[in-house]
Chains A and B, each alone.
Chain A
């Protein structure tokens, strides 16, 4: 079995404010994830903004160094003390897709120049060979090279441009694509086209995905595994269908109750407000205790450890049934 993604005691501390009055924020606070599989998998990372999802993606992409701990992607150490994987080898294992395609591509460069560079520098192809690689990658996302060649980002719609950025990520045939909120900037009517593309790429090219989102409905639709994060900690992790149809952590339950569904109406009762965010990051015990209906003294004093359930999921709660 291959290790698709493994993080061990991953920590990342950001310092905010000035030298004297600064506050420290644990954007990642002891994150332990482990997914092993021989098949390609889609792992979703869900949570509110400020939960540390993007920080985790950046650590895996080597864009930031973790404060401590390590991360492994497809049996390759990518983060940790003194870890420096060969650049080309790393880039042909892990590739990113970002949230806003209009910001990911410079408006002063043609989009095909990005594809060409990836083919030349990561795959080591010549300029003429690169054309073949570009054609192949664009065809797999449903676009034609002649329609893309020489065009600038403003000549595409958001959905099309996001497809081009998927095509760029596909050129090195990566084993895993890290997609950070890939559809949140795209119109609802076009969103599903990109989501379905991920599913077909998973089958056709055996590409795994780390899908980072705050949209639980699309996470349910495509993912095999799902991790729910809150204030830098994992609160629940397991198979996506098990977690979302029968949530056990009170925060996962709160998230699911808050989805604006078109199938059922909200129960209109008063909701527990969150405290000032920087305070919540520094809680010693469970970070959700101030909003939790089950909270007892132990939740304030002691961080809950992972409890392995019979269905294979981890729940980080003292009182999960």
Chain B
């Protein structure tokens, strides 16, 4: 179980402090793929940064803490302060752009031995890397290539290989397939699903593509303007959403063979600089009431394991 306790993440700017994640409170069971969805600027990536413990200026964590699902070798609890010692050993990260994450001037194999444990021999590890990379459907020569010699899909497979090499407990994947074509994307996502089933790690999967979430996730978290607005099992969230934003998000996309007219969500999310009162989705919500504009809804469990932050959620039950 990974517990996020009332996380508030601030960015310091010339205009002052702004909260990009504002009071997120969640319990995430281990060994699942959790999908995180929402518009750009809703705090998805900031949430990933905090879980990864990559907190440095201008990002700060004024309140809240995280309880991870593993402990240090001495049995002490891991916090956002000391999680850095476990980077790529117990917690790893798959970035969006593999081209800007791999070092362009050294060969891929040298980047694998970057995070060598003490007392391990380079040659042994490289041999392991070679067999591992082949298991993931890459030619063995790919390890000896420079990043620019590989195609986008191959590079992203290399990133998946790096992130899963030590079988970490947690993997954070921030839009790992957004830059790829559908066919390549499917290949990588199927690989990630197979690896997760074998290793039983917890994956936080950030994407704005609801189709991708439907294919691979076990649980879903929907974020809107720095708040968690819905959280539950993927099947429930997709089939019986409790928050009007989730409903609009899944219904807005066209599908092949379906001739119905689709509407996007009108309006735009509020600026986080404004004095935000009440529900942050109120201005764009079709179900808005007077209560929504004055009182902020809390994330409440409406069905077993399925919660939403909406005053009108009962109407959607």
Measuring CB to CB, which residues of chain A are less than 8 angstroms from any residue of chain B? 48-49, 157-160, 187-196, 214, 216-218, 220-221, 244-245, 254-263, 265-266, 268, 271, 273-274, 276-277
Contact = CB atoms under 8 A, between A and B. Distances in A.
13 contacts: A187-B39, A189-B39, A192-B264, A195-B264, A217-B253, A220-B257, A259-B211, A260-B186, A260-B189, A260-B214, A266-B186, A266-B215, A271-B190
Contact of B256 (A49, A256, A271): A256
Nearest to A265: B215
B41 to A, nearest CB: 9
B155 to A, nearest CB: 13
B262 A188 contact: no
Given A190-B265, A192-B262, A196-B263, A220 B256 contact: yes
A254 B102 CA distance: 30
A214 B263 CA distance: 20
Contact of B190 (A188, A192, A268): A268
B265 A189 contact: yes
A192 B254 contact: yes
B248 A189 contact: yes
Interface stretch (B13-21, B88-96, B177-185, B293-301): B177-185
B53 to A, nearest CB: 28
A196 B262 CA distance: 8
Given A188-B253, A220-B256, A157 B268 contact: yes
A245 B214 contact: no
Contacts of B189: 260
Given A192-B263, A216-B256, 16 more contacts: A48-B182, A158-B40, A159-B264, A187-B39, A188-B252, A189-B252, A190-B264, A190-B268, A192-B262, A196-B263, A220-B257, A244-B256, A259-B182, A259-B211, A260-B209, A262-B214
B238 interface: yes
A49 B179 CA distance: 10
A276 B186 contact: no
B150 to A, nearest CB: 9
B257 A245 contact: yes
B272 to A, nearest CB: 14
A164 to B, nearest CB: 14
A258 B183 contact: yes
B264 A196 contact: yes
Contacts of A216: 182, 256
B210 interface: yes
A188 B255 contact: no
A44 to B, nearest CB: 12
Interface residues on chain B, size class: 35 or more
B235 to A, nearest CB: 11
Contacts of A256: 256
Interface of B: 39-40, 137, 151-153, 181-187, 189-190, 193-194, 208-212, 214-215, 238, 248-250, 252-257, 261-266, 268
A266 B185 contact: no
Contacts of A259: 182, 211, 256
B210 A271 contact: no
B43 to A, nearest CB: 14
A220 B255 CA distance: 8
B141 to A, nearest CB: 11
A266 B193 CA distance: 12
A91 to B, nearest CB: 30
A187 B39 CA distance: 6
Contacts of A48: 181-184
A245 B252 CA distance: 20
Contacts of A194: 264
Contact of B210 (A157, A257, A262): A262
A196 B252 CA distance: 11
Given A217-B254, A263-B255, A266-B190, A49 B181 contact: yes
A96 B238 CA distance: 37
Greatest chain B CB density within 10 A among A220, A245, A262 is at A262
Contact of A193 (B184, B194, B255, B266): B266
Contacts of B208: 187-188
A194 B262 CA distance: 11
A159 B268 contact: yes
A221 B215 contact: no
B187 to A, nearest CB: 5
A266 B191 CA distance: 13
Contacts of A273: 137, 187
Contacts of A271: 183, 186-187, 190
A262 B183 contact: no
Greatest chain A CB density within 10 A among B183, B208, B255 is at B183
Contact of B262 (A221, A245, A257): A221
B22 to A, nearest CB: 20
Contacts of A196: 261-264
Q: Top 3 nearest A-B pairs by Cβ distance? A: A260-B211, A192-B264, A193-B264
A305 B262 CA distance: 38
Nearest to B42: A187
